[in-house]
Amino acid sequence: MSQSATGSESARWQRHAALVTIARDEWGIAHVRGRSDADAVFGMIYAQAEDDFNRIETNYLTALGRLAEAEGEGAVWQDLRQRLFIDPADLRARYAASPEWLRQLMTAWADGLNFYLHSHPEVRPRVLTRFEPWMALSFSEGSIGGDIERISLPALEAFYARRAAPPGPEARLADREPTGSNGIAIAPALTEAGRPLLLINPHTSFFFRAELQMTSEEGLNAYGAATWGQFFVYQGFNDRAGWMHTSSGVDVVDEYLETIVRRDGRFFYRYGREERPVETSSVTIAYRTAEGGRAERRFDVHHTHHGPIVRQEGDRWVSVALMHRPVEALSQSFLRTKARTFADYARVMELKANSSNNTIYADADGNIAYLHPQFVPRRDDRFDFTRPVDGSDPATDWRGLHELGELPRLHNPSNGWIQNTNNAPWSAAGVHSPRAADFPRYMDMFGENPRGVHALRLLEGSGGWTLDRLQQAAYDRWLPAFETLIPRLAEAWDRADPSAERRRRLADPVRLLREWSRSWSTDSVETSLAVFWGEALLERASDGRWGPGMTSYEAMAALPPERLFDALDDAIGRLERDFGRWRIPWGEINRFQRLTGDIVQPFTDDGPSLPVGFPSARWGTLASFGARSWPGTRRWYGTSGNSFVAVVEFGDRPRARAVSVGGQSGDPRSPHFNDQAARYAAGDLRPVHFEPDDVAANARRTYRPGE
Element (H, E) at 184: strand 180-186
Q: Above 50 in pLDDT, residue 171?
A: no
> What pLDDT is stored for residue 147 in this prediction?
81
User: Measured between alpha carbons, how far is 511 from 441 in angstroms, rounded to an integer?
Assistant: 43
Q: Above 90 in pLDDT, residue 197?
A: yes
What sign does the CA torsion over 339, 345, 349, 350 have? negative
> What pLDDT is stored for residue 168 in this prediction?
47
User: Measured between alpha carbons, how far is 484 from 534 in angstroms, rounded to an integer?
Assistant: 12
> What pLDDT is stored for residue 169 in this prediction?
47
Q: Using H for helix, E for strand and C for coil, what is the string for 126-156?
A: CCCCCCCHHHHHHCCCCCCCCHHHHCCHHHH
> What pLDDT is stored for residue 96 in this prediction?
98
Reported as a single tens digit per residue, the pLDDT across 593-633 is: 999 999 999 999 999 999 999 999 999 999 999 999 999 99
- Using alpha carbons, select from 487, 423, 496, 397 the residue that is nearest to residue 180: 423
Residues forming a β-bridge with 318: 257, 311
Reported as a single tens digit per residue, the pLDDT across 568-579 is: 999 999 999 999
Reported as a single tens digit per residue, the pLDDT across 443-476 is: 999 999 999 999 999 999 999 999 999 999 999 9
Please check whether residue 530 is in contact with residue 479, taking contact to mean a CB–CB distance below 8 angstroms. yes
Distances (CA, A) of 408 to 369, 376, 405, 482, 676: 11, 11, 8, 31, 38
Reported as a single tens digit per residue, the pLDDT across 465-508 is: 999 999 999 999 999 999 999 999 999 999 887 677 888 889 99
Strand intervals (E) in 278-375:
279-288, 294-304, 307-313, 316-321, 357-363, 368-371
Average pLDDT of the segment spanning 523-531: 98
Question: pLDDT category, 179, cuts 50, 70, 90?
Answer: low
Average pLDDT of the segment spanning 248-252: 95
Average pLDDT of the segment spanning 525-554: 89
Please check whether residue 184 is in contact with residue 470, taking contact to mean a CB–CB distance below 8 angstroms. yes
Q: Which of 138-147, 234-243, 244-253 has the lowest mean pLDDT?
A: 138-147
Reported as a single tens digit per residue, the pLDDT across 288-313 is: 999 999 999 999 999 999 999 999 99
> What pLDDT is stored for residue 166 in this prediction?
52
Question: pLDDT category, 142, cuts 50, 70, 90?
Answer: low
Which residues have a Cβ under 8 Å from the Cβ of 171 and sit 6 or more positions away?
Answer: none
Question: pLDDT category, 7, cuts 50, 70, 90?
Answer: confident
> What pLDDT is stored for residue 497 in this prediction?
76
User: Measured between alpha carbons, how far is 32 from 225 in angstroms, rounded to an integer?
Assistant: 14
Average pLDDT, the chain: 95
Average pLDDT of the segment spanning 42-50: 98
Q: Is 262 exposed, middle or buried (0-12, 13-18, 19+ CB in 10 A)?
A: exposed
> What pLDDT is stored for residue 4 in this prediction?
67
Q: Above 50 in pLDDT, residue 97?
A: yes
Q: Above 70 in pLDDT, residue 170?
A: no
Average pLDDT of the segment spanning 372-381: 97
Chain centroid, CA 586 distance in Å: 26
Q: Above 70 in pLDDT, residue 145?
A: no
Average pLDDT of the segment spanning 651-667: 97
Average pLDDT of the segment spanning 399-406: 98
- One-letter amino acid at 601 equals Q
479: DSSP letter: -
Please check whether residue 198 is in contact with residue 238, taking contact to mean a CB–CB distance below 8 angstroms. no
Average pLDDT of the segment spanning 215-224: 98
Reported as a single tens digit per residue, the pLDDT across 60-76 is: 999 999 999 999 999 99
> What pLDDT is stored for residue 167 in this prediction?
46
Contacts 24+ apart (CB under 8 A), 78-81: 78/153, 79/285, 79/287, 80/156, 80/160, 80/283, 80/285, 80/299, 80/301, 81/148, 81/151, 81/153, 81/156, 81/310
The 3-state DSSP composition of the chain as helix, strand, coil percent (nearest 5) reads: 35, 25, 40
> What pLDDT is stored for residue 502 in this prediction?
84
Q: Above 60 in pLDDT, residue 144?
A: no
